[in-house]
Amino acid sequence: MSDCPTDEPLKPLTIRMRDSDNVAIVANDGGLPAGTALPSGMVLRDKVPQGHKVALVDLPAGGAVLRYGIPIGYAISDIPAGSWVHERLLSMPEARELDALPMATTRGQAWPPLEGYTFEGYRNADGSVGTRNILAITQTVQCVAGVTEFAVQRIKQELLPRYPNVDDVVALEHGYGCGVAIDAPDAIIPIRTLRNLSLNPNFGGEVMVVSLGCEKLQPERLLPPGSIPVVDERSSTQGLDVVCLQDEAHVGFMSMVESIMRQAQTHLQRLNARCRETVPASELVVGVQCGGSDAFSGVTANPAVGFCTDLLVRAGASVMFSETTEVRDGIAQLTARAATPELAEAMVREMAWYDAYLQRGSVDRSANTTPGNKKGGLSNIVEKAMGSIVKSGSAPIVGVLSPGEKLQTRGLTYAATPASDFICGTLQLAAGMNLHVFTTGRGTPYGLAECPVIKVATRTDLARRWHDLMDVNAGTIAEGKATIEEVGWQLFHLMLDVASGRKKTWAEHWKLHNALVLFNPAPVT
């Protein structure tokens, strides 16, 4: 063995998704230089960066550029075979109209159920299961965030060591609650998001609230009677547990802090008495998402996640996929996969609502793609959407949620959310997510304090450089070292380990977490 560079010729690797595609992406680290001969004998006319497309045939001006078997764009001028097909050479197709769609027409393959898989979770009074045992402190308004955070730091230092079964204390900080048009029709979205967030299965049904006093979002409006499951006899008679900072009983800042700490103690005692128990894998509520995507997202990580989605659905679990602007261009595939025409119609309603929302801001779905997406080889939102949608696997869609709603169905659900990583994650938490899977090609250190986040790298180069941030490397698929199925199974087993607390994700290890960000399409005042 020698460390000297060898003269071994570079083996060009290109990936074509469908036989009908007239472009392929270059898989080699660092891309391929002009003059490289591909196995087909075709010679590259340009240098093609990693993840970018090469024309496999002569593409005439106006001709469709096909990837995933569909037109992702039209050539603006003639593109000879062997050329680098970058976004400046393409015009983007119009979004599919939302009428005359195939409604619940696809009958997916009937897979046998997957039985015998379990994890160790915390069973809650309402039947849901937590993967972590966290005290969450709900806030009605941003005004109380500083005081709550001060109290949380003291709880962590002074109280938490006495309750070893409790994993963490988390303040559910947000920017809402006052200075907003709270009676606007769309205000229901941030309000129900906050309500359902405080009921996430990882919080054990313990709800405590810090309120300012004068805010628009009063505690009773946030959590009306009957919205909280009864934890025990005492809490049902005491009503909502609220610390109100403007309460006349408080003299001085420390009185507020101590009041929050005293209330926290009651909840910590109950949480600490809980133990993990063996539960079926069907108790997983998984949210899948991508962020910082590249052209490999739809080739490696997302197909592996999609395979894992099918495994989870076969095991009876709940899986949510989201990100409306990233599925809009694949709407015909999704309405076809809906289990009933009513569900297909619900999906169309969500798309139409989002089209109108974007239009109000004088943009359309094309506002989604980032400079990083383009650098990673994704020419436009159509190409990005085709790669994103793959996360949903092949199961029928049995549920559709509007933003902020709570999940009620097992199986595969479309939970409508913006594609913004933090807003999507927040809405999936509100829906009841107890485990998050996040794929990335460009790389993001994303994490949530409320729920474990398993991050899947689309490329080996990213997995190598970010070895202590990425939990799974799906780049092995592009290198031919692992199959989509193998990485899907690896992810499935890792999910059971992480859900059980046997393994921590890198984001948990480093305590990396992003802010909760509410989706508020209503006006602020």
Question: What is the helix (H) or strand (E) element at residue 464, kind and residue range?
Answer: helix 460-465
Nearer to Ca ion, 291 or 452 (CB): 291
Distance between CA atoms of residues 240 and 242, nearest Å: 6
Nearer to Ca ion, 282 or 417 (CB): 417
Residue reference for tokens 């059980």:
500
Nearer to Ca ion, 55 or 290 (CB): 290
Nearer to Ca ion, 418 or 488 (CB): 418
Distance between CA atoms of residues 517 and 173, nearest Å: 9
Position of minimal CB gap to Ca ion: 291
Residue 419 C-beta: closest distance to Ca ion, Å: 4
**Binding residues for Ca ion (CB under 5 A):** 289, 291, 419, 421
Residue 323 C-beta: closest distance to Ca ion, Å: 5
Residue 306 C-beta: closest distance to Ca ion, Å: 16
Residue 364 C-beta: closest distance to Ca ion, Å: 18
Nearer to Ca ion, 260 or 430 (CB): 430
Residue 310 C-beta: closest distance to Ca ion, Å: 21
Q: Could you tell me the end-to-end alpha-carbon distance of the chain, in angstroms, rounded to an integer?
A: 69
Residue reference for tokens 């972590």:
132
Nearer to Ca ion, 137 or 419 (CB): 419
Burial (CB count <10 Å: 0-12, 13-18, 19+), residue 252: exposed
Closest Cα to residue 279, out of 116, 408, 132? 116
Question: What does the block give as tokens for 519?
Answer: 């989706």
Nearer to Ca ion, 142 or 514 (CB): 514
Nearer to Ca ion, 167 or 421 (CB): 421
Collapsing DSSP to helix, strand or coil, 278 comes out as: strand
Question: What does the block give as tokens for 486?
Answer: 């193998």
Collapsing DSSP to helix, strand or coil, 261 comes out as: helix
Distance between CA atoms of residues 158 and 88, nearest Å: 58
Beta 129-130 vs 118-123: how paired, if at all? Answer: antiparallel
Residue 155 is classified by DSSP as: I
Collapsing DSSP to helix, strand or coil, 472 comes out as: strand
Residue 435 C-beta: closest distance to Ca ion, Å: 17
